């Protein structure tokens, strides 16, 4: 994985395939490799050059000593696009990654050709604020949850009832989550960056084509919050994928991939 220094942070990135570039931005605490199993192959097959990277706070950058802001993460994406000579490009962001891209669309629209904003929000409601505060409190407590318990919490919070009610599927997911359990302190400086003021009015200035995707059973970013983003952005399209929770990009990857590739194939009107 090449590492480039952007705005003082070491960002590790990977490139797959060739063609017009697509930059993919992960959510809180997630490394760029989350896209590798499902989204990268689909986008490569559609003829794109796919660029994934680890946000600051994720290795090789590691935890930031002085902390950083959402604006810093937006500047990182802009800097990476410029470093790779990829702009204007297509972009995809999930959760915090979607918020980062929304702010990029406001501040640096010339770097983006069109955007897919997945399970993203334009404001913080009481549930999001409470969840974020709880994650920060857990991180600062120094407590590491036992992997089996962490896996259960992850499953209940991020998967759909359809998956939770399927014993065989659930056991598979629990095994994956237990093996990949991440100490939340590793991404401590990212926690809380998705707690944003109401930015919906600012998003009315976005001029690039956008697809906003909500997940029907998402308990983290409930789909009405994503729908608000689509309503705010002029000309944006909203689609909601059933039968999946916040990890819909893993739970229903074929449906999400089809939505992304169909949108990217569209021409400007």
- Confirm whether 198 is a catalytic residue: no
Q: What Å distances lie between residue 227 and 205, 223, 244, CA to CA?
A: 17, 6, 16
Which residues neighbour 236 within 8 Å (Cβ) at sequence distance 6 or greater?
206, 209, 210, 211, 212, 229, 230
- Confirm whether 166 is a catalytic residue: no
- Among residues 95, 121, 139, 226, which one is catalytic? 95
Which candidate, 105, 139, 135, 136, places its Cα nearest to that of 120?
A: 105
Token pair of 150 as six digits: 């962490």
- The alpha-helical segments, DSSP class H, found in the chain are 39-45, 70-83, 96-107, 126-141, 147-158, 161-164, 167-179, 223-232, 248-251, 253-265
Q: What Å distances lie between residue 14 and 23, 48, 266, CA to CA?
A: 10, 14, 26
Cα(241)–Cα(232) distance, integer angstroms: 20
- Among residues 120, 194, 226, 246, which one is catalytic? 246
- Confirm whether 14 is a catalytic residue: no
Cα(145)–Cα(138) distance, integer angstroms: 9
- Among residues 72, 194, 217, 218, which one is catalytic? 218
Question: Cβ(73)–Cβ(58) under 8 Å?
Answer: no
Cα(128)–Cα(94) distance, integer angstroms: 15
- Which residues are known catalytic residues? 95, 218, 246
């Amino acid at each position: 994985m090449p590492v480039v220094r952007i705005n003082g942070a070491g960002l590790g990135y990977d490139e797959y395939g060739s063609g017009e570039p697509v930059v993919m931005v992960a959510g809180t605490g997630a490394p760029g490799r989350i896209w590798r199993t499902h989204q990268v192959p689909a986008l490569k097959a559609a003829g794109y050059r796919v660029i994934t990277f680890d946000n600051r706070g994720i290795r090789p950058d590691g935890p930031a000593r002085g902390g950083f802001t959402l604006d810093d993460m937006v500047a990182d994406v802009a800097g990476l696009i410029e470093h790779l000579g990829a702009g204007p490009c297509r972009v995809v962001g999930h959760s915090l990654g979607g918020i980062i891209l929304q702010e990029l669309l406001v501040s640096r629209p010339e770097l983006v050709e069109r955007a897919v904003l997945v399970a993203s929000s334009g404001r913080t409601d009481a549930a999001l604020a409470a969840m974020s505060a709880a994650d920060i409190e857990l991180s600062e407590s120094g407590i590491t949850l036992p992997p089996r318990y962490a896996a259960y919490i992850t499953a209940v919070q991020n998967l759909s009832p359809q998956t939770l009610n399927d014993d065989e599927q659930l056991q598979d997911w629990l095994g994956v989550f237990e093996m990949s359990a991440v100490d939340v302190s590793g991404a401590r400086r990212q926690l809380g960056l998705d707690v944003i003021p109401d930015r919906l009015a600012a998003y009315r200035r976005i001029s690039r084509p956008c697809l906003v995707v909500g997940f029907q059973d998402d308990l983290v970013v409930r789909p009405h919050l994503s729908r608000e983003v689509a309503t705010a952005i002029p000309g944006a399209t909203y689609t909601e994928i059933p039968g999946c929770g916040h990890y819909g990009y893993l739970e229903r990857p074929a449906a999400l991939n089809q939505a992304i590739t169909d949108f990217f194939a569209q021409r400007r009107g």
